[in-house]
């Protein structure tokens, strides 16, 4: 991060800790970060986890000098927390909410008119810096404000920006829920290995590393998945036999339906 912005996290849970920890690893001055967290034991833990960062209990105080205020509490607490800090926000401050399913409209209703506001949806691999976060700014957010928010979320992995909030349900269904689909695949691949006589420990290792390796190759080669699939599929060989079984079981359609079902559910929950 190149600016000298100060950043406040409201809520010192898993996500705030991952983001602040990622920023510290990138070399940000800890004096530029403040975390507000109500639970005394958690504050004590944060002082150790995030050495040098200011950890306090008062959301309003944390907000007062911040250029970027990250709302990192559970969705059910968002309205209360925004109510506490609304009058303390600097006019140029950006509010970045990572609360799942909380719309820009609902957030804006608790804030002064014209306050820069961005909604973001990270996913759980963010906890190890390997997530992907989709940010959706309100139309009046200035480019440098959006860049500041992106630079903070980059501490947790990749970022993408969308301008149409209606796409957030699709984001939730794909990258938000997606890790669970991959865990199911890992479990099933390992079970298949065990069915072929492999010891469970080895099958687990092979399944996990195959998912990691294939994912990295896909990302780093820039190749279409179909091209990479064709490269490991020799005529009359083992892989085409396995792929045929996947198609007969409807796995491709099943994955598509999983994303669509999650999308429908996300829209119902709005």
Ligand X SMILES: NC(=O)c1ccc[n+]([C@@H]2O[C@H](COP(=O)([O-])OP(=O)(O)OC[C@H]3O[C@@H](n4cnc5c(N)ncnc54)[C@H](OP(=O)(O)O)[C@@H]3O)[C@@H](O)[C@H]2O)c1
Q: Does 43 bind ligand X (CB under 6 A)?
A: no
**Residues facing 136 on adjacent strands:** 119
Is residue 73 involved in binding ligand X (CB under 6 A)?
yes
* Residue range at the interface with ligand X (CB under 6 A); choices 4-12, 181-189, 192-200, 246-254: 4-12
Q: Which of 44, 74, 200, 216 binds ligand X (CB under 6 A)?
A: 74
125 backbone φψ class: left, alpha, beta (φ>0; ψ -120 to 50): alpha
One of 3, 14, 221, 231 touching ligand X (CB under 6 A) = 14
Q: Tell me the C-alpha distance between 102 and 86, whole Å.
A: 17
- Contacts of 25-33 with CB under 8 Å at 24 or more apart are 25/129, 25/155, 26/1, 26/155, 28/1, 32/4, 32/5, 32/6, 32/7, 33/6, 33/7, 33/8, 33/9
**DSSP assignment, residue 75?**
G
Q: Rule CB under 6 A: is residue 86 a binding residue for ligand X?
A: no
Residue 172 in the binding site for ligand X (CB under 6 A): no
Say whether residue 203 binds ligand X (CB under 6 A).
no
**Complex with ligand X: residue 152 or 203, whichever CB lies closer:** 152
Among 7, 37, 67, 89, binds ligand X (CB under 6 A): 37
Tokens linked to 139:
């139309």
Tell me the CA distances in angstroms from 125 to 14, 28, 67, 177, 261, one per residue in order: 11, 22, 26, 11, 22
Contact between 126 and ligand X by CB under 6 A: the answer reads yes
Binding of ligand X by 170 (CB under 6 A): no
Q: How many CA atoms lie within 13 A of 84 on its CB side?
A: 17
60 binds ligand X, rule: CB under 6 A: no
What residues pair up with 176 in beta bridges, in sequence order?
Answer: none
* Distance (Å, whole) CA 32 – CA 28: 7
* Among positions 122, 137, 178, 193, the unique one binding ligand X when judged by CB under 6 A: 122
Is residue 171 near ligand X by the rule CB under 6 A? no
- Cα 249 to the chain's mean position, in Å? 31
- Identified binder of ligand X from the candidate list 10, 50, 53, 168, rule CB under 6 A: 10
Q: Which of 69, 99, 107, 134 binds ligand X (CB under 6 A)?
A: 99
230 binds ligand X (CB under 6 A): no
175 in contact with ligand X (CB under 6 A): no
Give the distance, in angstroms, between the CA of residue 151 and the centroid of all CA atoms in the same chain: 14
Does 42 sit near ligand X (CB under 6 A)? yes
Q: Which stretch binds ligand X (CB under 6 A): 95-103, 221-229, 241-249, 262-270?
A: 95-103
Question: What residues line the site for ligand X (CB under 6 A)?
Answer: 10-16, 36-39, 42, 59, 72-75, 77, 80-81, 98-100, 122-124, 126
């Amino acid at each position: 991060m190149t600016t000298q912005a100060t950043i406040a996290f409201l809520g010192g849970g898993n996500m705030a800790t991952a983001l602040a920890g990622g920023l510290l690893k990138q070399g940000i001055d800890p004096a530029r970060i403040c975390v507000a967290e109500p639970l005394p034991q958690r504050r004590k833990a944060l002082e150790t986890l995030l050495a040098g960062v200011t950890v306090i209990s008062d959301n309003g105080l944390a907000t007062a000098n911040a250029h970027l205020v990250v709302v990192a509490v559970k969705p059910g607490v968002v309205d209360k927390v925004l109510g506490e800090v609304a009058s303390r926000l600097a006019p140029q401050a950006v509010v970045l909410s990572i609360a799942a399913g909380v719309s820009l409209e609902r957030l804006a209703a608790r804030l002064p008119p014209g306050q820069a506001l961005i909604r973001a949806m990270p996913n759980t691999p963010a906890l190890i810096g390997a997530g992907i976060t989709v940010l959706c700014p309100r139309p009046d957010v200035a480019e440098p404000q959006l860049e500041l928010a992106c630079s903070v979320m980059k501490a947790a992995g990749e970022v993408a920006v969308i301008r149409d909030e209606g796409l957030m349900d699709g984001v939730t269904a794909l990258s938000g829920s997606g890790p669970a689909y991959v865990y199911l695949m890992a479990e099933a691949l390992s079970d298949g290995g065990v069915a072929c006589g492999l010891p469970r420990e080895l099958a687990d290792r092979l399944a996990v590393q195959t998912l990691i390796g294939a994912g990295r190759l896909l990302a780093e080669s820039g190749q279409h998945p179909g091209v990479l699939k064709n490269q490991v599929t020799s005529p009359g060989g083992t892989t085409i036999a396995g792929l045929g079984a996947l198609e007969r079981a409807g796995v491709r359609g099943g994955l598509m339906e999983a994303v669509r079902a999650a999308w429908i559910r996300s829209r119902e929950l709005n």
